[in-house]
């Protein structure tokens, strides 16, 4: 909620500061409040604001990229609570600098940039996202993980909706400092709740600080970065490494487009013919986050529980809604069209839930924190490059056609849809033959001999190094039909039963 209040407020703060610092005191009182009436000044402010927004994103995201490479493996050792609290503290410090910058005769833009860099050093929202998703994965099983991650994303969007709505309402009647004060208080409450009310999900966590004879687990160790990178680069059976790489590419590409789109959306609606007041942009974000949250709370359970759709199909559904939204906003010349496009694009949030669910089921349990850490690093990197690339495209084409950047985004999502379609087809082929064990939910099958000990069978891959050891039975993927599933499971069980009897005979 605090982050959703801070993001649009900071963007508008930069936009207004750009205008005020670009003209003399006498001129800016006339021009900055009526930019629509001065097209030349409006274009100049739009282009300069885009450059400042790019610098803001660079300082905000570059430190997070480095931090995310270390933080996942570190959180697997020290626990999830500390990575949740650090970004909240960073937001408090950065907002205090923003408030200082709003004072008279202060270098406002310089303090904004310093504050954004400080927020990035503490991890921003990327580290919180990594820690919370890892926490949920720690305490849930694979069968329920998609729904649980969806609920977490839904609460995230609910907080973003409330924060954006509150920011939009307050910007009508108060100045920026009031909102910055509220953001500081909310972050302080989040730190206290995490510290006092949240149970640690990592068993026997190590200490991050010196304590008696116990050595601290340092964050910036090369082994932490190496372990995170191995999630993508280490060899895996049955093409699983390729699947992980492609899923990483899809979510990073999605975040790249989303990041740039958020920046140019603010410039797009501030420009004529829309020429929105600053509060309307907060309302727009509130509607976007509300639609995304409702999709997670109501649409996702229907798709998973009622329609029994695969995660890959859910991802493609989200991409389809995103494509429709971008096509609509690119031709919007009325305010209601912009708002409607945000409502239509609500199910776009299904992309993130589906991809993260598949990834968490594909990697081993001890790699979950590293996976989400590397994913946060990729998302942060995409935030940076998305802002730079799409802002530059917008600046280059705004005088020709303001909606061109949205059209380009739509074309890119069409390509992502084709990639996901081919990827889903290949995963289904592997799953039908029982080759890709990581995608299989837990299941049970009756044995023809009730005296056989099935205690070694587990849905979690645990292997015995003994001479007669066999691998536990891995179930078949939920994505195929029930009859075919039972047929394939029976074949696997018959084969494993023979191996079991052979191993017993050898021991005897």
Q: What is the pLDDT of residues 339-373, one digit of tens each?
A: 999 999 999 999 998 998 888 888 887 787 788 87
pLDDT at 508: 46
pLDDT at 333: 87
Cβ atoms of residues 488 and 432 within 8 Å = yes
Structure tokens belonging to residue 403: 């909606």
Distance CA 100, CA 177 (A): 9
> 417 to each of 128, 243, 251, how far by Cα in Å?
29, 15, 12
DSSP 214: B
DSSP three-state, residue 470: coil
pLDDT digits (tens, 9 = 90+) for 281-340: 878 888 888 899 899 889 998 998 899 898 999 999 999 999 999 999 999 989 999 999
* pLDDT top residue among 377 and 407: 407
pLDDT at 470 over 80: no
Cβ atoms of residues 406 and 393 within 8 Å = no
For residue 211, what are the β-bridge partners?
Answer: 214
Nearest to 248 by CA among 352, 164, 102, 105: 352
pLDDT at 206: 61
pLDDT at 222: 72
Does 334 sit behind a cis peptide bond, omega within 30 degrees of 0 on the bond before it? no
Work out the burial of residue 169: count CB atoms within 10 Å of its CB; fewer than 13 is exposed, 13-18 middle, 19 or more buried.
middle
DSSP 301: H
pLDDT at 282: 77
pLDDT at 391 over 90: no
Work out the burial of residue 405: count CB atoms within 10 Å of its CB; fewer than 13 is exposed, 13-18 middle, 19 or more buried.
buried
Tokens 């979950």: give the residue.
368
Q: Which residues of 331-340 are buried (b: 16+ CB within 10 A; e: fewer)?
A: ebeeeeebbb
Domain map (residue ranges) of the chain: 2-199+236-432, 467-508
High-pLDDT (> 70) share of the chain, %? 78
pLDDT at 451 over 50: no
Distance CA 485, CA 443 (A): 10
pLDDT at 218: 62
Mean pLDDT for the stretch of residues 405-430: 92
Percent helix, strand, coil in the chain, to 5, is 75, 0, 25
pLDDT digits (tens, 9 = 90+) for 97-146: 999 988 888 888 999 999 999 998 888 877 888 888 788 877 777 777 77
Under CATH, to which class is 2-199+236-432 assigned? mainly alpha
Mean pLDDT lowest among 27-41, 59-73, 103-117? 27-41
Phi/psi zone of residue 54: left (φ > 0), alpha (ψ -120 to 50 degrees), beta? alpha
pLDDT band at 471 (very low <50, low <70, confident <90, very high): very low
Q: Is the pTM of this model over 0.75?
A: no
pLDDT band at 480 (very low <50, low <70, confident <90, very high): very low
Tokens 């069968």: give the residue.
143
High-pLDDT (> 90) share of the chain, %? 24
- Residue 211 has phi, psi (to 5 degrees) of -150, 100
Distance CA 187, CA 195 (A): 12
pLDDT at 313: 94
pLDDT at 460 over 50: no
Winning range, highest mean pLDDT, from 38-42, 277-281, 415-419: 415-419
DSSP 104: T
pLDDT digits (tens, 9 = 90+) for 239-263: 788 889 999 999 999 999 988 888 7
Handedness of CA 437, 442, 447, 451 (dihedral sign): positive
pLDDT band at 458 (very low <50, low <70, confident <90, very high): very low
pLDDT at 452 over 70: no
- Start-to-end CA distance of the chain, whole Å, equals 64
pLDDT band at 482 (very low <50, low <70, confident <90, very high): very low
Residue 355 C-alpha from the chain's centroid: 10
């Amino acid at each position: 909620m605090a982050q959703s209040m801070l993001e649009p407020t900071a963007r508008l703060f930069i936009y207004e500061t750009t205008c005020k610092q670009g003209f003399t005191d006498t001129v800016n009182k006339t021009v900055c409040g009526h930019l629509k009436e001065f097209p030349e000044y409006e274009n100049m402010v739009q282009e300069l604001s885009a450059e400042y927004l790019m610098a803001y994103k660079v300082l905000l995201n570059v430190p997070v990229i480095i931090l995310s490479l270390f933080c996942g493996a570190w959180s697997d050792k020290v626990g999830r609570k500390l990575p949740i609290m650090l970004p909240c503290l960073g937001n408090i410090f950065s907002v205090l600098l923003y408030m200082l910058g709003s004072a008279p005769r202060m270098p406002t833009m310089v303090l904004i940039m310093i504050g954004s860099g400080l927020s990035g050093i503490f991890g921003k929202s990327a580290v919180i996202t990594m820690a919370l998703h890892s926490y949920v994965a720690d305490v849930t099983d694979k069968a329920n993980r998609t729904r649980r991650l969806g609920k977490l994303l839904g609460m995230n969007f609910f907080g973003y909706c409330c924060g954006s709505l509150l920011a939009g309402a307050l910007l009508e009647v108060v100045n920026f400092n009031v909102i910055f004060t509220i953001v500081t208080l909310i972050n302080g409450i989040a730190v206290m709740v995490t510290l006092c009310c949240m149970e640690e999900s990592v068993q026997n966590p190590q200490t991050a600080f010196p304590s008696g004879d116990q050595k601290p687990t340092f964050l910036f160790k090369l082994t932490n970065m190496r372990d995170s990178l191995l999630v993508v680069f280490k060899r895996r059976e049955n093409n699983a490494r390729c699947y992980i790489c492609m899923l990483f590419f899809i979510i990073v590409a999605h975040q790249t487009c989303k990041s740039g789109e958020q920046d140019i959306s603010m410039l797009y609606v501030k420009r004529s013919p829309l020429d929105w007041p600053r509060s309307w942009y907060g309302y727009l974000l509130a509607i976007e986050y509300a639609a995304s949250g409702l999709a997670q709370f109501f649409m996702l359970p229907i798709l998973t529980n009622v329609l029994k759709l695969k995660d890959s199909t859910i991802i493609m559904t989200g991409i389809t809604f995103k494509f429709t939204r971008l096509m609509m906003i690119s031709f919007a010349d009325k305010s209601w069209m912009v708002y409607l496009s945000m409502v239509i694009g609500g199910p776009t949030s299904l992309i993130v839930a589906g991809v993260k669910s598949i990834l968490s089921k594909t990697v081993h349990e001890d790699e979950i924190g590293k996976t989400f850490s590397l994913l946060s690093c990729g998302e942060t990197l995409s935030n940076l490059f998305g802002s730079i690339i799409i802002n530059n495209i917008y600046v280059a084409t705004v005088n020709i056609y303001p909606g061109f950047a949205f059209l380009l985004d739509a074309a890119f999502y069409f390509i992502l849809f084709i990639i996901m379609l081919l990827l889903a087809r290949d995963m289904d082929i592997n799953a039908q033959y029982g080759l890709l064990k990581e995608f299989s939910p837990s299941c049970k099958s009756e044995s023809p001999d009730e005296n056989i000990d099935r205690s070694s069978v587990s849905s979690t891959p645990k292997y015995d190094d003994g001479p007669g050891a066999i691998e536990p039975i891995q179930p078949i993927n939920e994505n195929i039909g029930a009859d075919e599933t039972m047929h394939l499971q029976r074949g696997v069980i018959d084969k494993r039963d023979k191996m079991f009897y052979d191993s017993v005979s050898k021991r005897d």
